[in-house]
Every structure is written in structure tokens, then in C-alpha cells.
A and B are shown apart, each in its own frame.
Chain A
Amino acid sequence: MTTGPVEYILIAFPGNRFNGQIVPALQELVDKELIHIIDLLFVKKDAEGNLLVAELSTIDAEESAPFDALDGDIDGLLSMADIELAAAELPNNCSAGLLVWENLWAARFAEAVRAANGQVIANERIPHAIVEAARQALLA
């Protein structure tokens, strides 16, 4: 049963997809039972703005190899409409990874909020640059 907050993220990369240190970093989060991966796929917008969707199972072995050992499930909960919505802001000629995961680390907090009849009204990821700028402004 899913009790931790679930979220998705679309991260665009120049050139290759999730590579280098990203998969090991994800694996560490999984190993530490901090997150559970629910869905993972890749998208690309070509020069004309057409959206191409690549499932992990369809990209070639060399590129998908790093993910073979990554512990998680591709439950396919994201629909094609979801993917199009998430990728609406993706610029042309851009590849991106789309990840859906459950924040296991926040499960107890989420249950406590639910038990108190709390309702999430707003929730947003604040870009790192904005936080830094705000901190700098306080120092000025």
C-alpha cells in the first residue's frame, strides 16, 4: 500500500539520458528505503515538437543496462495523457527522463497529516537558485 507522498519529475538532459552518477544515486535512495520507484521512462521532443516516448524495455540494451540493477517497479500508472501533460514544457530537440516515485521517508508524516484531517493545499519544489538568492538577500 502506498502511504508516502508520490511525486513525479521530468528532467531534461543534453545528449544522453540518466547517466553517470544519477542511477547510483537513485539506487542509494532505494537501498536506504527512502524512496520506491513507481515509474520510469524517457521522452524526447524532436525538432518539430513531436513527442517520442521510450520505455525502459524498448531502448537498446547498452543504454538500459544501468537500470537493470535499479530496484523498482514500472507499474505503468502514468498514462500517455499524463506523459504528454508532463512533457508539455519540454523544449524541442530535448531528451528527458520522467520518474515517478513514492517518498517512503515521509510516510509517517503523511499518515499523521491524514489522521489529523489535514489537506495539502499547495506543494512545490523551489529551485535551488531562488533559495540561494533569497539567502543572499538576507545577508545583504
Chain B
Amino acid sequence: MRRGARSNRSGPGLLGTVGRTAVIAGTATAVSHGVSGAMQSSAQQKAVAAQQKAAAEQQRIDDAVQQALAQQQVAAAPPPVAGPPPAPATAGVDRVAQLQQLAALREQGILTEEEFAAEKVRILAS
């Protein structure tokens, strides 16, 4: 392996234009992917990619929220022997309660401002 004469790595470099944008689209538009036979436009492909990234980010936030809520519920649970059975989950989830819990998670530093904002948008839209 030959080594160049001026290879002290102080030149302009190669990776300056490499993008490292993290796309968290809180309100990603629904784009149908997997369209068989039809050619997707570049814009559609980008929207699909953005949606997939948003979905992955959403999943991460959901997992974090679920975990934090589970921990809160464990801490507040009554003694196992004498306690009443846990209340069944209601079909229509109370959005206000969700938002309050979300704010608590942000307070505790479990969610970042960005995650809180993205999740809030999702709750309000649900």
C-alpha cells in the first residue's frame, strides 16, 4: 500500500456535501407505496422515505412513552394481594390525560422538546 507524500489529512476533504439530515416529519402526508407497475416520481419516493423515517421515529417515541407510562403505573399500583383489578382500557382514550402525561414525560427529561412536539401533534390529530 503506497502512501501519498502529503497525506496528513489537512486538505479540503471529500465528505463536505454528505447530508446528515434527520427527517422527523410530524405531519407526514400519507403516500401509498408499493404501487405495482407504476413508476413513482422522485417526489413521491422522497415522501415515502420521509414517512418511513417518521414512522420509525414515531415508533421510538411510542416505545419510550409506553415504557415510561408502564413505569409510572408500576410505581402507582396497589398491593397485589388486596388491590382491585386494574381498570379496563377505555375505547376512547382521553386526549387531555394523554397530553398531561406527555408533558410529565417532557418534565422528567424522558422526551425531548422535539419528541414532545411531534407526539403532541399526533395526539391532537387522533
Query: What B residues does A1 contact at CB under 8 A?
Result: none
Contact assessment for B20 and A88 in the assembled complex, using a CB-CB cutoff below 8 Å: yes
Contact assessment for B8 and A76 in the assembled complex, using a CB-CB cutoff below 8 Å: yes
A82 and B13 in contact (CB under 8 A), knowing A74-B7, A121-B42? Answer: yes
Is residue B18 contacting chain A, with contact meaning CB distance below 8 A?
yes
A75 to B14, CA, bound (A): 12
Using CB atoms, name the residue of chain B closest to A56. Answer: B1
How many residues on the B side are at the interface (Cβ–Cβ under 8 A)? Answer: 19
A85 to B9, CA, bound (A): 14
Contact assessment for A85 and B1 in the assembled complex, using a CB-CB cutoff below 8 Å: no
A131 to B100, CA, bound (A): 42
**B1 partner, pick from A72, A83, A86, beta carbons under 8 A:** A72
Is residue B10 contacting chain A, with contact meaning CB distance below 8 A?
yes
Is residue A57 contacting chain B, with contact meaning CB distance below 8 A?
yes
Query: What A residues does B6 contact at CB under 8 A?
Result: 76
**A67 partner, pick from B1, B12, B42, B45, beta carbons under 8 A:** B1
A85 and B18 in contact (CB under 8 A), knowing A78-B9, A79-B13? Answer: yes
Is residue A77 contacting chain B, with contact meaning CB distance below 8 A?
yes
A74 and B3 in contact (CB under 8 A), knowing A88-B20, A121-B42? Answer: yes
Known: A85-B15, A88-B20. 11 other contacts (CB 8 A): A6-B14, A40-B1, A70-B1, A73-B1, A73-B3, A78-B13, A78-B14, A85-B18, A86-B15, A122-B42, A122-B45
Residues of A within 8 A of B (CB): 6, 8, 37, 40, 56-57, 67-68, 70-83, 85-86, 88, 100, 121-122
